[in-house]
Amino acid sequence: MKKIILLAGFCLFFFVNTCFAQEMTYQHSASAEQITFAWSIEGDSLHVKLTAKTTGWVGIGFNPTEGMKDANFILGYVKDGKVKLRDDYGSSLRKHSRDTKDGGQENYTNASGKEENGVTEIAFTIPLNSGDSKDSILKPDDETMVLLAYGAGRDSFIAKHQYHVVLKVTLSTGEYQEIKRH
């Protein structure tokens, strides 16, 4: 009986690890310069992967009203093999702050990342509607303004971006248009 239980436990462990070790397959992607935003919608969630040619941070912002103001940002970097993410909001045209600083919440889950050969990749999941006052509601069939950026070689959330681009994206179809790049 002990052998059967041990064997069943091993099989369950192997099955769970195999299922969760598989990389997410993303339905859509948009690229500009040396940064890529890949995503999938699953139910009420948006699965995101950002990849950029940098050893610094990468980030994304959704639906600013002007400049960076009011955008929901997720920023991340990988240091010593560990991913570090932060949920921010656009506090002004040129600044962003932690959601939690002004009563918001960190609304990302499933954080992962890696840095190899000068390329940083982070992945996470966010709700389409977090209910957080610092986050805009993402409507898959509407046009979503997306800010993509990366910093140069410094694992710090306060390092200024080296490159950024603004895209207009329809999340449900994958259609996108580059609006502005810097």
Each residue's pLDDT tens digit, 73-110: 999 999 999 999 999 888 777 788 777 787 778 889 99
Number of neighbouring beta carbons within 10 Å of residue 145: 16
**Chain centre distance of CA 86:** 10
Predicted local distance difference test score (pLDDT) of residue 7: 39
Q: Which long-range contacts (CB under 8 A, 24 or more apart) does 79-88 make?
A: 79/155, 81/114, 83/111, 83/112, 83/113, 83/114, 83/122, 84/155, 85/111, 85/113, 85/122, 85/124, 86/157
Threshold 0.85, pTM exceeds: no
Distance (Å, whole) CA 46 – CA 33? 23
Indicate if the pLDDT at residue 128 is higher than 90. yes
pLDDT tens, position by position, 146-166:
999 999 887 877 778 889 999
What end-to-end distance do the CA atoms of the chain give, in Å?
66
Whole-angstrom CA distances from 21 to 37, 50, 57, 82 are 21, 19, 24, 17
25-181 homologous superfamily: Cellobiose dehydrogenase, cytochrome domain (2.60.40.1210)
Return the pLDDT at 170.
97
